[in-house]
Amino acid sequence: MSRKIRALIALTRPPNSTLMFIAVISGILLSDEKIFQLDKLILAFITAYSLCGASMAFNDYFDKEVDRVNAPWRPIPSGAISGSEAIILSAALGTIGIISAAATSLQCLIVAAAAFLAALIYNAKLKKTGLFGNMLVSVDVVIPFIYGAVLSDGYISPRIITFIFPVYLSNLGREIIKGISDIEGDSLREIRSIARTKGAKIAARLGALFYLAAVLISPIPYILNLVNWIYLPIVAIADAGFVYSSISIIKSSTRENSLKVKKRTLLWMLIALIAFIAGAI
């Protein structure tokens, strides 16, 4: 595989984009009808991966100068691909994702288009706002759950809110903590992250607070009898991970540790997704 192909794949952030599809599966399992159709699942994978990958590529284009400081190993600052190639990839993936959503249903198209538009606006403009941008991108992270519910039922069931709220809180915490590692580069785009405006320690405490809030409300689906008992031991592992990461980032709010916490958070979120799936079956 050529260096350029590897770089283009890396630009789509395969772990993040795959998590989006797993979240769609979770949304289906947490829906009222729990309807699985192979053709629609294939389209859902194409939509989830393509739109997430497109937004990641678009983000890297706008952050290319920032990444020269924060993440020089990424495809654009490393010179593996150009900014124009990233835009072409983003446009191509975005088109594929929207077409596959349209082929699924009108409701799915509306959800997918709204999520993709929000991601584009965030990357181009609202990322600079700091906390508001963190809140918007966290909404985009929970959209796949809604997409899965709409794919199954054709509507958004109130029960899905019980599951997406802890995901929203944990991702919001991750975005705030991520700002600690990005302070130097974010200054180039004048991004008003909590870490830049209030300091790394405040960002660490606030991010940890959102992690712990997610942990506190994680038993609610079981209390409301929306999942079976298998959910509890699995989500407990994710909760323990979030508690550990909270303590870690509060003790050491350095750039190096924030990078470790940011990466670990994806693992805790994956385990939480597995808990949702196992508990809903």
Q: Which residues contact 175 (CB under 8 A, 6 or more apart)?
A: 134, 137, 138
Which residues in the chain land under pLDDT 50?
A: none
What domains appear along the chain, each with residue ranges and CATH number? Answer: 1-156 (1.10.357.140), 158-281 (1.20.120)
pTM above 0.85, yes or no: no
Q: Kindly tell me the sign of the dihedral angle through the C-alpha atoms of 237, 195, 62, 94.
A: positive
Residue 24's nearest CA partner among 145, 197, 175 is 145
Mean pLDDT of the chain: 89
Q: What percent of the chain has pLDDT over 90?
A: 49
Reported as a single tens digit per residue, the pLDDT across 172-209 is 999 999 989 888 777 777 788 898 899 999 999 999 99
* 77 φ/ψ angles, rounded to the nearest 5 degrees: -65, -25
Reported as a single tens digit per residue, the pLDDT across 81-120 is 888 888 999 999 999 999 999 999 999 999 999 999 988 8
The Cα 250–Cα 243 span in angstroms is 11
pLDDT score of 130: 83
pLDDT score of 157: 80
